[in-house]
A and B are shown apart, each in its own frame.
Chain A
């Protein structure tokens, strides 16, 4: 006699390829070696993105974009809405952890050389996703409309204005006018909740599809050893073995988020006053701090050219080089791989030092 559960499953199986998906998941394997733990970073980043989508959707129910309402609505969320403080604090902390995790994932992929052929497009889609995450951070920062975010956005949107010819139009596009006003707020809100999520969804879909298609990359050293000694090759099943391990990592991230939100609730600050004076030592979020500090240290003129403009140009070139990294990595005619690893180490060290310097500098 068929049970009701079996009946439902059969009904569903006739209308959805559930068994095929299950078979595919069980067939999928994940390489097991000493660097396998780095595979969890991508999943952690995806989990935090999911947290952002969920908490962001909940915040949307009460948030009101507008210079007269934004701050008050966030204040309402934090004081009047049941667990509103938790949702908002988790959203803010998760955003920071997400950017951190995305960078960690990027450098793990870079050092493990996972961007090699045929995964070039996986790398490119990942880099574009990182840029989108930074865009999320920048556009979301102004939304509470507090004093610090107001002036930090003013400084942040002023930077691209240094670029000749197109700089000023870019600034106008970002601000919706010459100054930071309610128009800037609604504009960045539009980016944050509609345009960037739509692009991110597409890119995440592409990124995951490519990973699914090509499978997990194995570092060159491990790959060579396995090719030489096939008996040493180890794999675990994606489902349930790897997924359950990933789930454990997600639980750890969830606990960390909860602890940060409860012990260090994200401050709301003071409402933005466009006619007020900028607070002393205004700084951007930590993930822009290394760039900000670099621009502060660059001399006003370098070889007769505007120093800040050259700095922005350098950031653009570094970003472009990072995006096209798999195409710069080659073993013949010149072996650039070691150079890339060395430069990545230097760049990582520079970012860390400048971030700390920017943090402590007055």
Chain B
């Protein structure tokens, strides 16, 4: 009997302990997630207002941080006086000049960041201090970009979120908010046409129109936190991150030393920087649209080499177009030309390689590729001609066959009539 009583007491004790633990856990969790600031600020107008929806999409809020993480104060208190008291560490509006250091207080703390995103780098502030923005900020320039200018404040989202201001597809627009504002940029004496030029470029087309997020945007060439204009000597290195073969060939070309001697940056001398258009074969040679003639004069060795390269490229491009036209015509007539059409891709590849080989700026460098391409187009053109000959042969054959059939039918008709008249 005593044993039964002990067992019941013991069970009751366990239940009480578990219930107490659950209540405490709930209170702790409530205490951690309570954000009383929003109770008032979600009802206030701008600039003090922050809607619940905006805040809920903030990456910091999603990680469990409250307003107090940046602004200080006691987010657990429902009393505004207590919540926004200096005693509770409330800072109020963060001064613009304090923003980089405030962000760095967490983002440069490896131990702190490990809790939230162990793979995130913690050197952004160090990089920022090496950037043009950061250097000017250090000198007290309060107009230059700080963290929140690019990342946002209360609507701050992860860069991988397409709605983030620093998502690849939005970066150029974000940068342009300052760099395309002539009035704002006036004290710095730099151009403000970069975004307008970029919008016309092949890179913008790839990024925005085709949605290729690997296409370059401002930060790809200038860096992000350490943003700085690439120096004359570094431009080729920047472009070579993607355009590897062109850069390698340029390094072996006579232009490398010539450009260095004249103080010309590598790639952008011919292709420009922000307004990089899709290159055409007319860019090389001695024609009116050839960039070579910006430095070379007609008849000099360089212009003759350029013209020779232009001729090789256009010959191959014309040969490909001629084969394409002939094969398409044959295909429209119902001829089976899928094999030569497939072969045409080899000629196109050869043309692509030749266009890359241009960057060695020697006509001999293209010859191997253009010769291979021309040999292929010779075969495909011959296949197209054969298909059209075959098509004509079929028509003639059909005509003759139909005449023979008609004659046979007439003969049979007469024969049947003669049979039945007997």
Chain A: minimal CB distance from B25 (Å): 50
Closest residue of chain A to B390 (Cβ to Cβ) is A85
Question: Does residue A349 face the partner (Cβ distance < 8 Å to B)?
Answer: no
The answer to whether A251 touches B398, judged by C-beta atoms less than 8 angstroms apart, is no
CB-based nearest A residue for B331: A267
Q: Is the CB of B419 within 8 A of A240?
A: yes
Nearest CB of A to B386, in Å: 9
Q: Is A346 close to B, CB under 8 A?
A: no
Does residue A255 face the partner (Cβ distance < 8 Å to B)?
yes
Separation of A263 and B334 alpha carbons in the complex (Å): 8
Cβ contact within 8 Å between A268 and B338:
yes
The answer to whether A75 touches B405, judged by C-beta atoms less than 8 angstroms apart, is: no
Give Cα A265–Cα B332 distance, bound, in whole angstroms.
11
Nearest CB in chain B: distance from A146 CB, A: 10
Q: Which residues of A contact B401 (CB under 8 A)?
A: 255, 258
A235 → chain B closest CB, angstroms: 12
- Taking a contact as CB atoms under 8 Å apart, the answer to whether A241 and B402 are in contact is no
Q: How far is the CA of A262 from the CA of B398 in the complex (A)?
A: 7
Inter-chain CA distance A263–B338, complex, in Å, is 19
A54 at the interface (CB under 8 A from B): no
* CB 8 Å contact bits of B336-353 with A (1 = contact, 0 = none): 101100000000000000
Contacts of B336 in A (CB 8 A): 75, 78-79, 85, 265, 268
- Total interface residues in chain B, CB < 8 Å: 22
> Is the pair A262, B395 in contact by a Cβ cutoff of 8 Å?
yes
Contact in complex: A251, B412 (CB < 8 Å): yes
Contact (Cβ within 8 A) B416 A264 = no
Across the interface, do A244 and B409 meet the contact criterion of CB distance under 8 Å? Answer: no
Q: How far is the CB of A28 from chain B (nearest CB, A)?
A: 16
Instruction: Look across to chain A and name the residue whose beta carbon is closest to the beta carbon of B333.
Output: A265
Chain B residues lying within 8 Å of A268, measured Cβ to Cβ, are 336, 338
* Interface: B272 (CB within 8 A): no
Cross-interface CB contact of B416 among A75, A244, A254, A267, cutoff 8 Å: A244
Q: Does B413 contact A (CB under 8 A)?
A: yes
A300 beta carbon closer than 8 Å to chain B: no
Interface string of A244-269 (1 = CB under 8 A from B): 11011001101100110011110110
A265, B334: Cβ atoms closer than 8 Å: yes
Q: Which of B335, B402, B412, B415 contacts A259 (CB 8 A)?
A: B402
B412 close to A248 (CB less than 8 A)? yes
Nearest opposing residue in chain B for A268, CB measure? B336
Q: Which residues of B contact A248 (CB under 8 A)?
A: 409, 412-413, 416
Taking CB atoms, residues of chain A closer than 8 Å to B409 are: 248, 251-252
Q: A269's closest neighbor in chain B, by CB?
A: B338
| B113 → chain A closest CB, angstroms | 42
Chain B 387-422, CB-CB to A under 8 Å as 1, else 0, gives 000100011011001100110110011011001100
A254 and B402 CA atoms in complex are apart in Å by: 9
CB neighbours of A78 from chain B (8 A): 336
Q: Which residues of B contact A254 (CB under 8 A)?
A: 405
Residues of B within 8 A of A245 (CB): 416
Q: Tell me the interface secondary structure of chain B in the complex.
A: helix
Would A251 and B408 count as touching, CB distance under 8 A? yes
Question: Closest CB of chain A to B186's CB: distance in Å?
Answer: 54
Q: Which residues of B contact A86 (CB under 8 A)?
A: 394
A13–B409 Cα distance when bound, in Å, is 32
Contact in complex: B405, A251 (CB < 8 Å) = yes
Interface 0/1 of A265-286, CB less than 8 Å to B? 1011010000000000000000
- A interface, size bucket: 20 to 34
- B397 — which chain A residues lie within 8 A by C-beta? 262
Chain B window 91-132, contacts with chain A (Cβ cutoff 8 Å), 1 for yes, 0 for no: 000000000000000000000000000000000000000000
- Is the pair B334, A267 in contact by a Cβ cutoff of 8 Å? yes
Residue of chain A at shortest CB distance from B395:
A262
Please name the residue on chain B nearest to A79 by beta carbon.
B336
Q: Which residues of B contact A79 (CB under 8 A)?
A: 336, 339
Contact B412 A244 (CB under 8 A): yes
Which chain A residues (147-186) contact chain B, with CB distance < 8 Å? none
Q: List B352-378 residues whose CB lies under 8 Å from chain A.
A: none
Contact A75 B339 (CB under 8 A): yes
Give chain A residues whose Cβ lies under 8 Å from the Cβ of B412: 244, 247-248, 251
- Nearest B residue to A254 via CB reads B405
CB of B409, distance to nearest CB on chain A (Å): 5
Using CB atoms, name the residue of chain A closest to B397. A262
Shortest distance from the beta carbon of B387 to any chain A beta carbon, whole Å: 9
Which residues of A have CB within 8 Å of B420? 236, 241
Task: Tell whether, in the assembled complex, residue B416 and residue A258 are in contact, meaning their CB atoms are under 8 Å apart.
Answer: no
Q: How far is the CA of A97 from the CA of B199 in the complex (A)?
A: 58
Residues of A within 8 A of B419 (CB): 240-241, 244
- Nearest chain B CB to A243 CB, angstrom units: 10
Chain B's closest residue to A255 (CB) is B405
Q: Do the beta carbons of A241 and B405 come within 8 Å of each other? A: no
Residues of chain B in range 123-173 having any CB-CB distance to chain A below 8 Å: none
Contact B339 A258 (CB under 8 A): no
Chain A neighbourhood of B416, CB < 8 A: 241, 244-245, 248
Interface residues of A in 78-103 (CB under 8 A from B): 78-79, 85-86
The answer to whether A255 and B339 touch across the interface, beta carbons within 8 angstroms, is: no
Which residues on the B side are within 8 Å of A259 (C-beta)? 398, 402
Complex CA–CA separation, A251 to B397 (angstroms): 16
Complex Cα spacing A252 to B413, Å: 13
CA gap between A245 and B416 in the complex, in Å: 8
Flag if A263 contacts B398 (CB, 8 Å). yes
Write out the residue numbers on chain B whose beta carbons fall within 8 Å of the beta carbon of A270: 338
- For A251, what are the chain B residues with a Cβ–Cβ distance below 8 Å? 405, 408-409, 412
Q: How far is the CA of A270 from the CA of B336 in the complex (A)?
A: 11
Q: In the complex, which residue of chain A has the Cβ closest to the Cβ of B405? A: A255
CB distance from A190 to the nearest CB of B (A): 27
- Measured CA separation A252–B416 after assembly (Å): 16
Query: B335: which A residues are within 8 A, CB to CB?
Result: 265
Note all chain B residues with C-beta closer than 8 A to A252: 405, 409
**Contact mask B15-59 → A, CB, 8 Å, 1/0?**
000000000000000000000000000000000000000000000
Complex Cα gap A254–B401 (Å): 10
Q: Which chain A residue lies CB-closest to B383?
A: A79
Contact pick for A264, options B334, B338, B402, CB 8 Å: B334
Q: Which residue of A lies closest to B412 (CB)?
A: A248
Most buried by B among A75, A86, A251: A251
The 12 listed contacts between A and B (C-beta, < 8 Å) are A236-B420, A244-B412, A244-B415, A245-B416, A248-B409, A248-B413, A251-B405, A251-B409, A251-B412, A259-B398, A264-B334, A265-B335
Nearest first, the 5 A-B pairs at minimum CB distance are: A262-B398, A265-B334, A78-B336, A255-B405, A262-B394
A-B contacts besides A85-B390, A251-B412, A255-B402, 13 pairs, CB < 8 Å: A75-B339, A236-B420, A244-B415, A244-B416, A244-B419, A254-B405, A255-B401, A258-B398, A258-B401, A258-B402, A262-B394, A263-B334, A268-B336
Q: Chain A: residues with CB nearer than 8 A to chain B?
A: 75, 78-79, 85-86, 236, 240-241, 244-245, 247-248, 251-252, 254-255, 258-259, 262-265, 267-268, 270
Which B residues lie at the A interface, using CB under 8 A? 334-336, 338-339, 390, 394-395, 397-398, 401-402, 405-406, 408-409, 412-413, 415-416, 419-420
